[in-house]
Amino acid sequence: MQKDLSNYRKSYEKSELAENSIKENPLEQFQKWFYEVEATDGLEEVNAMTVSTIGVDGFPKNRVVLMKKYTHEGFIFYTNYESEKGKAIENNPSVCLSFFWPNLERQVIIKGKAEKIAENLSDGYFESRPMGSQLGAIVSDQSSIITSREALEKKLHDLEKAYEGKQPERPSYWGGYLVRPVSLEFWQGRPNRLHDRIRYTLQEDFNWKIERLQP
């Protein structure tokens, strides 16, 4: 089985990324791009990002999650701390986040260190979720093997009965991570594959070094 994809080509011509138009702080540049992508049709989940970790088995693994907040400190997402992802982060907190926004031919690649956020912040977000999402977080032993879909749905059905008329509390094994960036690369597609790549790197004095990379 094979399929030749050598003729899959596209010319990127929607925008450019120049040093005289970027922000000095990469978090401000991220916010600028995020707003622009959000305001442009053609993408349903602007906050979808790929989280890459190094697993306890030594292999890298990527998965798409939803960013739920970004601040001057970094980027926040929520997960099961006992999942494959959570165990990988506990073993090695160095992670990579990436956003792909094809509607504006843009990528952002972020290297950083992941740390658990304060429990009260995880509590607050958990309480804001719909009941179904709350129970879903409780019922799933994320990344563990289960015999069938029916077995999982039965677990949820039993949990719905147990919590009928009650407000679920956030389980201790579920919560948020903050990724504090040490490097952010902004990639803008350009014609002839001569893409714009601007990288911000955090320095020891906490200022950001800005460099242009070759495509």
Give the pair of three-digit tokens for residue 96. Answer: 């990579």
* pTM reported for the whole predicted model: 0.94
Per residue in 39-94, pLDDT (tens digit) is 999 899 999 999 999 999 999 999 999 999 999 999 999 999 999 999 999 999 99
Per residue in 96-108, pLDDT (tens digit) is 999 999 999 999 9
Which residues does the annotation mark as catalytic?
A: 193
Cβ 71 vs Cβ 65: under 8 Å = no
Tell me the mean pLDDT in the region 21-38. Answer: 97
What's the angle, vertex CA 190, arms to CA 43 and CA 19, rounded to 5?
100
Residue 167: pLDDT band (50, 70, 90) is: very high
Domains of the chain: 19-127+174-213 (2.30.110.10)
Distances (CA, A) of 75 to 18, 85, 201: 25, 16, 16
Task: Kindly report the average pLDDT of the chain as a whole number.
Answer: 96
